[in-house]
C-alpha cells in the first residue's frame, strides 16, 4: 500500500523515501527501483525524490551506507559481548546473520554488486572498512591462540566470512532442503553451524 501524502511533512520526506525504497526492494529487485517508482510508492510527486537524491545511484549509496552502519552496530555489540577470542568470532558471525535476517533489502543491496564504481564513494568505503576492521581484529586475536591454523590470517577471515555469508544467503532464499525443519529453528541452526566451524578452526 502506498504511503499517503498526509503521512509526511517537509522534515521527514527523506525518511519516507528511504522506507519506501526498502519496501520496493523487499517486494521486487533492484530493477524495480527507480525514482519514478519511488515517488509512486511514497505517494508523492514525481519530482519530490529529486530533492534528496540526484539519481538512482545516489539513492543506492544512501541505502548501502545505512545498511553498513546497522551491520557495524551489530558487530560492535557482538565484539564487546565477550573477552574470549573464539566466542567473539562466533558472536560476530551470528550478528552478521541477524543483520541479514532483520534487513534483507539492505543485505542484498550491499552485497549484490549494486554499484559499478563503489570506490568513488569514499564515505561508503570508509564505513565498510570500519566493519571489516572489527572482523580483522577478532581474527587477529584468534590467530594468536596456540592451536590457530598455520595459514595467513586473510585466508581465515575469508573462510569465516564465506561461511556466514553463504549461510545467510541460503536461509534468506529458503534454499536449505530439509536440513532446517521450520523458520523457528533457523537461528538455532545458524548458531550451531557457526560455532562448529569456528571452534574446529581453533581446536576448541
Is residue 153 exposed (0-12), middle (13-18) or buried (19+ Cβ within 10 Å)? middle
Classify domain 5-51 at the CATH topology level.
Arc Repressor Mutant, subunit A (1.10.10)
Per-residue pLDDT, 201: 95
Per-residue pLDDT, 8: 47
Q: Could you tell me which of 5, 3, 64, 4 has the C-alpha nearest to residue 30?
A: 64
Per-residue pLDDT, 88: 97
Per-residue pLDDT, 102: 94
Per-residue pLDDT, 178: 74
For residue 4 the three cell numbers come to 499517503
Contact predicate 13/34, CB 8 Å: no
Per-residue pLDDT, 123: 92
Per-residue pLDDT, 11: 58
Per-residue pLDDT, 94: 97
CATH architecture of 57-201: Orthogonal Bundle (1.10)
Angle between helix 153-172 and 85-102 (nearest 10)? 30
Q: What is the pLDDT along the chain (204 residues), one digit of tens a residue?
A: 343 444 444 458 889 999 999 999 988 888 899 999 999 998 898 899 998 999 999 999 999 999 999 999 999 999 999 999 999 999 999 999 999 999 999 999 999 878 888 889 999 999 999 999 999 999 999 999 999 999 999 999 999 999 999 999 999 888 876 777 677 788 999 999 999 999 999 986
pTM equals 0.87
Q: Where are the domains of the chain?
A: 5-51, 57-201
| Placement of cell 590470517 in the chain | 153
For residue 84 the three cell numbers come to 574470549
User: According to the 3-state scheme, what is the secondary structure of the chain?
Assistant: CCCCHHHCCCCCHHHHHHHHHHHHHHHCCHHHCCHHHHHHHHCCCCCHHHHCCCCHHHHHHHHHHHHHHHHHHHHHHHHCCCCCHHHHHHHHHHHHHHHHHHCHHHHHHHCCCCCCCHHHCHHHHHHHHHHHHHHHHHHHHHCCCCCCCCCCHHHHHHHHHHHHHHHHHHHHCCCCCCCCCCHHHHHHHHHHHHHHHHHHHCCC
Amino acid at each position: 500500500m502506498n504511503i499517503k501524502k498526509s503521512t509526511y511533512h517537509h522534515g521527514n520526506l527523506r525518511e519516507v523515501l528511504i522506507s519506501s525504497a526498502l519496501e520496493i526492494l523487499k517486494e521486487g529487485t533492484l530493477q524495480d527501483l527507480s525514482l519514478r517508482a519511488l515517488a509512486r510508492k511514497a505517494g508523492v510527486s514525481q519530482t519530490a525524490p529529486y530533492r534528496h537524491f540526484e539519481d538512482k545511484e545516489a539513492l543506492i549509496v544512501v541505502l548501502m551506507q545505512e545498511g553498513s552502519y546497522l551491520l557495524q552496530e551489530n558487530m560492535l555489540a557482538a565484539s564487546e559481548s565477550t573477552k574470549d577470542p573464539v566466542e567473539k568470532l562466533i558472536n560476530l558471525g551470528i550478528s552478521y546473520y541477524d543483520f541479514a535476517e532483520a534487513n534483507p533489502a539492505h543485505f542484498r543491496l550491499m552485497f549484490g554488486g549494486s554499484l559499478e564504481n563503489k570506490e568513488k564513494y569514499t564515505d561508503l568505503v570508509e564505513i565498510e572498512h570500519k566493519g571489516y576492521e572489527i572482523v580483522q581484529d577478532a581474527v587477529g586475536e584468534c590467530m594468536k591462540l596456540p592451536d590457530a591454523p598455520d595459514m595467513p590470517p586473510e585466508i581465515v577471515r575469508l573462510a569465516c566470512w564465506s561461511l556466514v555469508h553463504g549461510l545467510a544467503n541460503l536461509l534468506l532464499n529458503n534454499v536449505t532442503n530439509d536440513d532446517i525443519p521450520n523458520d523457528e529453528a533457523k537461528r538455532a541452526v545458524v548458531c550451531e553451524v557457526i560455532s562448529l566451524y569456528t571452534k574446529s578452526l581453533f581446536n576448541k
